[in-house]
């Protein structure tokens, strides 16, 4: 799992914690994907895992599988370029690990991740491949809200 940082408004920010990181933190931890020693991650629930990653992991697929590749490209080449894209990405990277963590605590987590894969990941990948980016964005955003209400409230 790679460290979820990004460059935004002339500074680095941690997508997992929602906190800004200075260059020292970035060069020491983020750039090298060094979760275990990162002071931002210590003491937090550090699954470091997001919905699509958890779903493909449950299916036994690798981190460079087609689904993750398509959705990562979508994030970087579509969502990030929207006016509110970077903010929306940061919000997702704050809430998604919490959703994944809540699901992983359940006995039926594997079936839940498989259902999310079928209801969210697979349809979004198909939409993106057909050029239906707005629809994929809307579906992903709505499903994350549903999951948040279902597992975090």
Same structural domain, 87 and 134: yes
Separation of alpha carbons 127 and 136, rounded Å: 6
User: DSSP for 97-152?
Assistant: HHHHHHHHTSTTHHHHHHHHIIIIIHHHHHHHHTT-HHHHHHHHHHHHHHHHHHHH
Q: pLDDT truncated to tens, each residue of the chain (153 aa)?
A: 445 555 556 666 666 666 666 777 667 766 665 556 666 555 444 334 589 989 998 999 988 899 999 998 999 899 989 998 888 887 887 788 889 989 999 999 999 999 999 999 999 999 999 999 999 999 999 999 999 999 997
**Domain count along the chain:** 2
124, with CB counted inside 10 A (0-12, 13-18, 19+), is buried
Distance of CA 4 to the CA centre of its chain: 8
Domain region containing 33: 5-37
pLDDT the model gives residue 87: 84
Same structural domain, 142 and 81: yes
Same structural domain, 30 and 76: no
């Amino acid at each position: 799992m790679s460290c979820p940082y990004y460059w935004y408004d002339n500074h680095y920010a941690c997508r997992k914690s929602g906190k800004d990181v200075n260059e020292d933190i970035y060069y020491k931890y983020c750039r090298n994907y060094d979760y275990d020693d990162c002071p931002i991650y210590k003491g937090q629930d550090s699954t470091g895992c997001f919905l699509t990653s958890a779903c493909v992991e449950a299916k036994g697929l690798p981190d460079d599988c087609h689904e993750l590749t398509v959705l990562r490209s979508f994030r970087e080449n579509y969502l990030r370029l929207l006016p509110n894209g970077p903010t929306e990405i940061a919000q997702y990277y704050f809430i998604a690990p919490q959703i994944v963590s809540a699901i992983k605590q359940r006995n039926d987590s594997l079936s839940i991740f498989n259902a999310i894969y079928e209801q969210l990941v697979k349809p979004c990948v198909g939409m993106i491949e057909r050029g239906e980016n707005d629809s994929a964005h809307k579906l992903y955003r709505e499903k994350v809200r549903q999951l948040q209400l279902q597992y975090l409230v």
